[in-house]
Amino acid sequence: METKITLEEKDIPKKWYNILADLPHPPAPVLHPGTKKPVGPQDLSPIFPMGLIEQEVSPKRWIDIPEEVLKLYTLYRPTPIYRAHRLEAALKTPAKIYYKYEGVSPAGSHKPNTAIAQAYFNKKEGVTRLATETGAGQWGSALCLAGSLIGLEVMVYMVKASYHQKPYRRIMMEAWGGKVIPSPSDKTKAGQKILAQDPNSPGSLGIAISEAVEDAVTHKGTKYSLGSVLNHVLLHQTVMGLEAKKQFKKVGDYPDVVIACCGGGSNLGGISFPFLMDKFNGKKVRVVAVEPTACPSLTKGKYAYDFGDTAQLTPLVKMYTLGHDFVPEPIHAGGLRYHGDSPLICQLYHEGFIEAVACNQNPVFEAAKLFSLHEGILPAPESAHAIVAAIDEAKKAKEEGKERTIFFNLSGHGLLDLSAFDSYFAGKLEDYELPREKIEASLRNLPKVE
């Protein structure tokens, strides 16, 4: 029985898969934050290059991956799929457990798949500097890596809670030439406003996005770059799911369930969309999104139009949201602390094509420890959410006495998240389930859209 399922460089997909071409229903339009009317390319051009805007709305099923992007992908792609034989044995399950490991990238996660592509399309249109936000630092690291490879300056607004929890992520970004500051900061009007209200604000991805967008529109030669949520980001990430389908074909298997953690949706969308293409054509496959109970956008949010950021600078998108001014607790899975989700993920969840579950952080770290004991890889706290769900699926298979094929995306390693594991081993992590009243209070401020 094989442990690793590998591909050769020539097997890297040459096209990204665009799920917009296959959605059973067209997506809700993106609205201008001021007029509440559908946005056009001219509305997005101050912050995004036209190449990415075209991808955001393209009806084409397949979009070519530029040769320069493919060359840079070969630094770490194709990524391996592992059969988790030892974990299966420990769980005494009849299920087969597979995981795709994106931690082999230089940045340690799946994020370079879109960072490299975004840097390429920005550089092609004469952009010299990118501004972005980051939670745990995975996205910021990836964009700084891409900036160093393609030749762009990168400014990163890092959520303050993670900035202090994960200093090594900041150091990694700086090693690749990036500039990193904690958000909220006094560098932008959006940050200044938050600090005036709460000088000790731990920050959030919504706040950091506001600062990055403001930075982009106030600096010449600068565009904004987003690591999740938007259609073009999830498009770039489908390289993972497309590779995975080739790998399963190689061993004559196919997943019954595809699992991934979900914050903004790039990880889940990238690994699952190519399998959902099969589902739309009649294949039986489940897709499960896993999120933290401290920030349960899908499982407890409201499906409505909302801003993607706290300062209300971004367009309005229809998504499951906890409210744009919601500030989550400073849990260690910083990459999942976002008030909303990808509109595509939200639509698929709303229409019943994917499922969602929420987990407390102590069970997440318990699963991460069990996984590392048997598989040897220390997973990122975000990625470990998928491990919890995979283990739950394996236990159900054992209870039912049925075989099933479980596949999850191990989106990154946890080697720069050791302080989080230290807190877990010391018994200092607190489980936090977001109270309904806090959600309702935040949802009162949703924009009114007719």
Strand partners, 182: 158
Q: What is the mean pLDDT of residues 119-135?
A: 97
**pLDDT interval class at 187 (50, 70, 90):** very high
The answer to whether position 58 is within a domain reads: no
pLDDT on residue 52: 98
User: Any idea what the CATH number is for the domain that residue 262 is in?
Assistant: 3.40.50.1100
| Whether the predicted pLDDT of 345 surpasses 90 | yes
What mean pLDDT value characterizes the chain? 95
The answer to whether position 411 is within a domain reads: yes
Tell me the torsion sign for CA atoms 391, 376, 331, 265.
negative
Helices H / strands E in the chain, number of each: 18, 15
| Whether the predicted pLDDT of 196 surpasses 90 | yes
The answer to whether position 274 is within a domain reads: yes
The answer to whether position 98 is within a domain reads: yes
> What's the burial of 350, exposed, middle or buried (CB within 10 Å: 0-12/13-18/19+)?
middle
Collapsed DSSP state (helix, strand, coil) of residue 78? coil
pLDDT on residue 313: 84
Percent of the chain at pLDDT > 90 equals 88
pLDDT on residue 192: 97
Q: What is the mean pLDDT of residues 287-294?
A: 96
| Whether the predicted pLDDT of 407 surpasses 90 | yes
Q: Averaging pLDDT over each range in 236-240, 312-316, 337-341, which range is the top one?
A: 236-240
- Between 313 and 224, the higher pLDDT residue: 224
**pLDDT interval class at 271 (50, 70, 90):** very high
**pLDDT interval class at 338 (50, 70, 90):** confident
Number of domains in the chain: 1
Tokens for 403? 């075989």
pLDDT on residue 328: 78
d(CA 387, CA 363): 10
The answer to whether position 277 is within a domain reads: yes
Q: 265 to each of 64, 230, 245, 438, how far by Cα in Å?
A: 22, 9, 20, 23
Look at strands 81-83 and 4-5 and give their pairing.
Answer: antiparallel
Range of the domain at 434: 68-108+237-443
Q: What is the mean pLDDT of residues 73-80?
A: 98
The answer to whether position 29 is within a domain reads: no
pLDDT on residue 333: 62
| Whether the predicted pLDDT of 119 surpasses 80 | yes
The answer to whether position 114 is within a domain reads: no
| Whether the predicted pLDDT of 450 surpasses 80 | no
Q: What is the mean pLDDT of residues 307-314?
A: 87
Q: Phi and psi (nearest 5°) for 395?
A: -65, -40
Q: 262 to each of 40, 79, 107, 239, how far by Cα in Å?
A: 28, 20, 19, 17
Closest CA to 228 of 312, 339, 144: 339
Contact 127, 223 (CB under 8 A): yes
Q: What is the mean pLDDT of residues 359-366?
A: 96
**pLDDT interval class at 205 (50, 70, 90):** confident
Q: 168 to each of 141, 174, 209, 417, how far by Cα in Å?
A: 10, 10, 21, 9
| Whether the predicted pLDDT of 331 surpasses 70 | no
Q: What is the mean pLDDT of residues 145-168?
A: 94
Residue 34's contacts (CB-CB under 8 Å, 6 or more residues apart) are none
Q: What is the mean pLDDT of residues 125-144?
A: 95
The answer to whether position 275 is within a domain reads: yes
Q: b/e string for 424-447 if b means 16 or more Cβ within 10 A?
A: beeeebeebebeeeebeebbeebe
**Which amino acid is it at 34?**
G
Q: Averaging pLDDT over each range in 171-175, 321-325, 413-417, which range is the top one?
A: 171-175
